[in-house]
């Protein structure tokens, strides 16, 4: 039993205790609410899904995420969910992912395969669960879409992405993922991640899928915070 696992267990206990002692409040405005209050949810859902273009392996992929005006709000909800274990945040996050997938599907209304970026072993050890998979389990899917939770896997251990610059992140992840799901060959695939920053993870995932003959049609993320230094609450290679 590693000391990191003990620390994670103690952290979970402390947070559970805190939620008993302190009333629940909105992650964004501190109003009494479980995770995110109704006015904040309405503010987030009133905005259209943002669609940008991402360059991957020389071609353009659409990246669907939240409106830039609320990108940091959504990052805070993701951080509360992943690192403070505010489990009720799964509902608004799943709602946002549903909207992103609907937007991706509208442009490619085929039998869409949804493939999440896999968690690293280190992240699973630290948290004891996989946040993105829990969100995907609560997500509403467009007609005909299927989820492939194990569509991608890591081929080796990767260094923590925090503290690495753009080039080092790309090097760290190059060839680190593989697709072993035969159902994805020739199929239209949407890659899903929670927070996209430099795009290095999306590049690695796309490379693996293309190598397995999948047709990557887009990327859906909860939020895209480009060029921003990663903070502890963001992706730590999973």
User: Could you say whether residue 89 binds Zn ion (CB under 5 A)?
Assistant: no
In the complex with Zn ion, the residue whose CB is nearer, 8 or 34, is 34
In the complex with Zn ion, the residue whose CB is nearer, 77 or 192, is 77
Q: For the CB of residue 118, give the shortest distance to Zn ion in the complex, in Å.
A: 32
Q: How far apart are CA 86 and CA 12, in angstroms?
A: 11
In the complex with Zn ion, the residue whose CB is nearer, 28 or 178, is 28
User: Could you say whether residue 42 binds Zn ion (CB under 5 A)?
Assistant: no
Rounded (10°) angle between helices 166-173 and 200-211: 30
In the complex with Zn ion, the residue whose CB is nearer, 43 or 87, is 43
**DSSP for 118-160, written as a single string:** PPPHHHHHHHSS-HHHHHHHT----TT-EE-TTSEEESS----
Coil, strand or helix: which one is 110?
coil
Q: With CB under 5 A as the contact rule, which of the stretches 21-29, 48-56, 61-69, 150-158 interacts with Zn ion? A: 21-29
C-alpha torsion angle, residues 49, 51, 54, 59 (rounded to 10): 130
User: Could you say whether residue 28 binds Zn ion (CB under 5 A)?
Assistant: yes
Size of the site for Zn ion (CB under 5 A): 6
Identify the residue among 37, 70, 74, 192 touching Zn ion (CB under 5 A): 37
Q: For the CB of residue 30, give the shortest distance to Zn ion in the complex, in Å.
A: 7
In the complex with Zn ion, the residue whose CB is nearer, 56 or 94, is 94
Q: How far apart are CA 21 and CA 203, in angstroms?
A: 43
Q: How far apart are CA 80 and CA 93, in angstroms?
A: 11
Q: How far apart are CA 116 and CA 139, in angstroms?
A: 12
Identify the residue among 29, 47, 140, 185 touching Zn ion (CB under 5 A): 29
User: Could you say whether residue 80 binds Zn ion (CB under 5 A)?
Assistant: no
User: Could you say whether residue 213 binds Zn ion (CB under 5 A)?
Assistant: no
- Using CA atoms, how far residue 202 sits from 145, 233, 237, in Å, is 20, 19, 11
User: Could you say whether residue 70 binds Zn ion (CB under 5 A)?
Assistant: no
- Please work out, in degrees rounded to the nearest 5, the angle formed at the alpha carbon of residue 147 by the alpha carbons of 125 and 151: 60
Identify the residue among 35, 40, 80, 132 touching Zn ion (CB under 5 A): 40
Binding site for Zn ion (CB under 5 A): 26, 28-29, 31, 37, 40
């Amino acid at each position: 039993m590693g000391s990191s696992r003990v620390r994670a267990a103690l952290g979970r206990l402390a947070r559970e205790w805190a939620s008993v002692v302190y009333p629940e409040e909105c992650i964004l405005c501190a109003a009494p609410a479980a995770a995110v209050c109704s006015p904040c949810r309405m503010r987030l859902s009133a905005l259209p899904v943002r669609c940008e273009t991402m360059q991957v392996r020389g071609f353009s992929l659409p990246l669907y995420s939240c409106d830039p005006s609320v990108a940091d709000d959504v990052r805070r909800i993701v951080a509360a969910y992943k690192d403070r274990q505010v489990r009720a945040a799964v509902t608004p996050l799943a709602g946002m992912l549903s909207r992103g997938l609907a937007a991706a599907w509208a442009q490619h209304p085929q039998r869409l395969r949804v493939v999440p970026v896999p968690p690293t072993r280190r992240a699973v050890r630290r948290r004891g669960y996989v946040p993105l998979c829990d969100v995907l389990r609560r997500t509403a899917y467009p007609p005909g879409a299927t989820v492939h939770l194990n569509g991608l896997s890591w081929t080796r251990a990767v260094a923590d992405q925090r503290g690495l610059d753009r080039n080092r992140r790309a090097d760290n992840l190059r060839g680190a993922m593989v697709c072993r799901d035969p159902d994805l060959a020739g199929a239209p695939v949407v890659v899903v991640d929670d927070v996209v920053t430099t795009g290095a993870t999306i590049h690695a995932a796309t490379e693996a899928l293309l190598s397995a003959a999948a047709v990557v049609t887009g990327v859906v993320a909860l939020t895209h915070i480009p060029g921003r230094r990663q903070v502890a609450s963001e992706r730590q290679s999973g």
